[in-house]
Chain A
Amino acid sequence: MLGYYLDLAIRSLKRSPGLTLLMILIVAFGVGASMTSYSVFRAVSGDPIPWKSSRLFVPQIDIWGPKGRLDASNNNDPPDAMDYLDAAALMRDHRGKYQSAMYRVSPSIVPPDPHMHPINVGGHAVYSEFFAMLDVPFKFGSGWGADSDAQRAAVVVINAKLNQKLFGGGNSVGKTLDIDGKDYRIVGVLDNWTPKPVYYDVVNTGGFTTDQEDVFLPFTRAIDVGMPNDGNTNCAEVPKTPGFVGLQQSPCVWISYMVELDDKAAVSAYKNYLDGYFNDQKASGRFNWPLNNRLRDLPAWLASEHVVPSDTKVSLVVALGLLVACLVNTAGLLLAKFLRRSAEIGVRRALGAPRMAIYTQFLIEAGMVGFTGGLLGLLLTWVGIHGIGWVLPKEIASLARVDLGLLALTLLVAVAATMLAGLYPTFRASRVQPALQLKTN
């Protein structure tokens, strides 16, 4: 039966090629535009570490109180980063399974090759547990141990790209690297690890950035040698003493913090610890405002930081609106097309075809329009994703990809949407009164 209906559908579509082509084009453009927007949205709103994101938490302590919340837009949130004093205290207390305070650095490197000019790199000063907490993949070597944190050791982990640039991609573990004029021993080379967004420090990177993460070195070492922070510094008051040391003594916030908590009990224990920490500080006279801490898991944290650019969401909403408009349009055209064949339906019904048969026949016809439109839509999506780099910023556009899932989804959306649009016209077609049609002819 299916073969027969397919044959009927093809004949019917061939009979009015203009109308058929119009419907296919409309479906294709609707699907192409919305899938292009969706692919960008998917790329920026995806979970950067899906297997673990619900176990990674960002603590926030309200060290500024009400005076730090002058713009009403932030929902009474405490500062979204930490000052040095509290970050160091939390690291010392060490209440999570893994945790790391971190800040962005931008040191210079003198390449081992004497013919190369010095280069500037980006990276983070982190604690040893950073690598285990975020399941960072290594190509050679590994991260450093807790003892290196304590000893403020001059060790460094570099990314695959920098390893390629400086050492031709070979195993450089054990070699020496000149960072800001001081020698560091390379202990690990990452296996091309470039998470997007840079979820472990969205405060200092903005989440989506074209800046590279080339080096990771011990937090304690970076503080020790006075390697300045290269990110946002937010202050509720001007530091009393100048310099990077003054910043460390000030209540300015510039450090990101992340902690791994594996189960509910650990989360509530940590929350209690955090609240207790605040209350202790309050009791000692540091704060005079009520407790207002936060402990968000990674997805909630990314949402509260508005990491997904609102432009991406607006485009998705508008493109979905376009898809709906295209479907309404297709529904109208299918209605016209189906009802034009009332006579044919009348004959078939009179010859004993049940309503169900009419339904199947016309839904198959609608589905065929959808499928063909979807195929063309695939092409348009492909063009859209490759063309989006012309209009969107690099750090966003480069993330949108065509993959098998997207291809399947595009076809599915096209077929399902067109059949949905064909439901009412099909219903109307199945209601055609056979007697009436036969009489008028």
Chain B
Amino acid sequence: MTLHPMIAALRKHKAGVVLIALQIALTLAIVCNAIFIIYARIQNVQRPTGMDENNLFLITQQWVGAPSGDDPASIQKLDAMLREDVNALRAMPDVESVTPINSMPLFPSSWNGSIALKPGEELREGNARTTYYFGDESLMKTLGLHLIAGRNFSAADVTNKGFRDPAEANMVIVTKALADKLYPHGDAVGKAVYLDGSNKPSTIIGEVERLQVPSVSSWASSFVWNSTIEPVRLNSNFSRYAVRTKPGRLDAVMRQVPSTLYGVNPMRVLDDDSVKSFKDIRAEAYRADIGMAALMGVICLILLAVTAAGIVGLTSFWVGQRHRQIGVRRALGARKIDILHYFQLENLLIAGGGALFGIALAIGLNRVLMSKFEMESMPVYYVLAGLAVVVLLGQIAVFVPARRASNVPPVAATRSA
């Protein structure tokens, strides 16, 4: 079959052709950008935090009328209260491990700073940005982190300090990502680093495979795997505890927590949000990402359905319009399959033309989103996949009217329109 008569026929209804092509182009542009957004969000949500996320929960509580924590005596008082809580939690049935902690991956509270190889660097310079986690010797076990080099903290390593005390611990455990950034030869354990522009060195005593920072916002994306753990109990008028339970006992233990802690000291605040499973923390952190992905998915589905329906509608009209001509072709010896192929090829031609324009539109839309909304550059294969999708969609949509056309009997040639 030559294309010449087909193009000649298309020129007879330019407007319809242009509208279908435009529709295909818009669909391609929007669908591949939407899929790109969806993919980016899903990738975000699926990255593991580095913890064993099952059977883990976090308690946030605040003491009422507690000392300020600004002078040594009140810090020791707060530390005693904190250890009392930790001991009570550790004594609960079905509890495997407990650590005081300042935050957790995906929890909306973080302590960020910098880490340097030289003393006294400016706080905002240094060699790498990092998040700080503060906990005791049980932190590794409680969070379920994988130590890949060096050693864990021992109970004797753990100190305590006031929440706003700038003093730094003399040893730290860092993530592999951070260790490799500071010491690219893989020999970070035993080396000295300076935390937050401090003049006093801290020794790296261990490396963990992976530990995500708390924030999932874009400002933290440049140091998302750079975590530093200090063996320090932070003392303040509030405290957090991470708790790991025996498998399957999470809910039971969580229910018992308020009465246990009120039993230790009733003058404290524990509300609905105070005891939270890590599963809930994760769901809340990524709610916006999952929502955005779902929204883009719905829009894609609507758009694809609308485009397909439009192609069916317009092609049906053309089939009706050319009823007689189809009859003539059939009378002159064209087989059913020839008529079917004619409409399929015609659609391929229009969809192909529209898709070429759509590629430019898709890249343009991606550039706009990049410049205004901190989006990444879309890889080429998204556009190619989008192209395949819209061309295939056109072929599927055109099949029904094309088959109807192929069923026009040769006798139609003899009847008037």
Contact = CB atoms under 8 A, between A and B. Distances in A.
A228 B62 contact: no
Contacts of B26: 321, 324-325, 328
A15 interface: no
Given A335-B16, A393-B288, A238 B198 contact: yes
Interface stretch (B95-103, B159-167, B377-385): B159-167
B267 interface: yes
B288 A22 contact: no
A322 B314 contact: no
Nearest to A69: B124
A236 B126 CA distance: 12
Contacts, number: 184
A428 B262 CA distance: 79
Contacts of A412: none
B33 interface: yes
B373 A332 contact: no
B369 A317 contact: yes
Interface in A308-327: 309-311, 313-315, 317-319, 321-322, 324-326
B44 to A, nearest CB: 12
Contacts of B29: 321
B86 interface: no
B30 A67 contact: no
B309 A26 contact: yes
A268 interface: no
B27 A325 contact: yes
Interface stretch (A55-63, A88-96, A189-197, A243-251): A243-251
B198 A242 contact: no
A329 B307 contact: yes
Nearest to B20: A332
Contacts of A245: 70
Contacts of A19: 313
Contacts of B296: 315, 318
A180 B65 contact: yes
B292 A311 contact: yes
Contacts of A170: none
Interface stretch (A113-121, A284-292, A294-302, A348-356): A113-121
A243 B365 CA distance: 50
Given A239-B164, A328-B26, A332-B19, A310 B198 contact: no
A424 B13 CA distance: 13
A242 B65 CA distance: 21
Nearest to A209: B108
B251 interface: no
A335 B19 contact: yes
Interface stretch (B131-139, B146-154, B298-306, B330-338): B298-306
B374 interface: yes
Chain A contact surface mostly: helix
B269 A311 contact: no
B391 interface: no
Contacts of B165: 242-243
B15 A110 contact: no
Contacts of A329: 19, 23, 306-307, 309-310
Given A119-B271, A332-B23, A335-B15, A238 B64 contact: no
Contact of A322 (B262, B267, B303): B303
B22 interface: yes
A70 interface: yes
Interface string A391-408: 111001000000000000
B303 A325 contact: yes
B288 A311 contact: yes
B403 interface: no
B304 to A, nearest CB: 10
Given A117-B270, A119-B271, A329-B23, A180 B64 contact: yes
B197 A310 contact: no
Most buried by B among A226, A236, A321, A331: A321
Most buried by B among A30, A110, A247, A391: A391
Given A117-B266, A237-B122, A239-B164, A314 B37 contact: yes
A33 interface: yes
Interface in B250-304: 262, 266-271, 287-288, 290-292, 294-296, 298-299, 302-303
A235 interface: yes
Interface in B178-224: 196-198, 219
B68 interface: yes
B295 A391 contact: yes
A245 B162 CA distance: 13
A25 to B, nearest CB: 8
Contacts of A317: 368-369
A265 to B, nearest CB: 36
A426 B266 CA distance: 77
Nearest to A29: B302
B125 interface: yes
A238 B292 CA distance: 38
Contacts of A396: 288
A17 interface: no
Contact of B70 (A226, A235, A311): A226
A434 interface: no
A84 B74 CA distance: 24
Contact of B123 (A106, A238, A313, A321): A238
A244 B291 contact: no
B266 A391 contact: no
A379 interface: no
Contacts of B317: 336-337, 340
A3 interface: no
The 6 closest A-B pairs by CB, nearest first: A181-B65, A243-B70, A391-B291, A336-B317, A332-B19, A329-B310
Given A29-B302, A336-B318, 12 more contacts: A117-B262, A242-B165, A310-B374, A313-B373, A321-B365, A325-B27, A328-B26, A329-B310, A340-B317, A391-B292, A393-B288, A424-B15
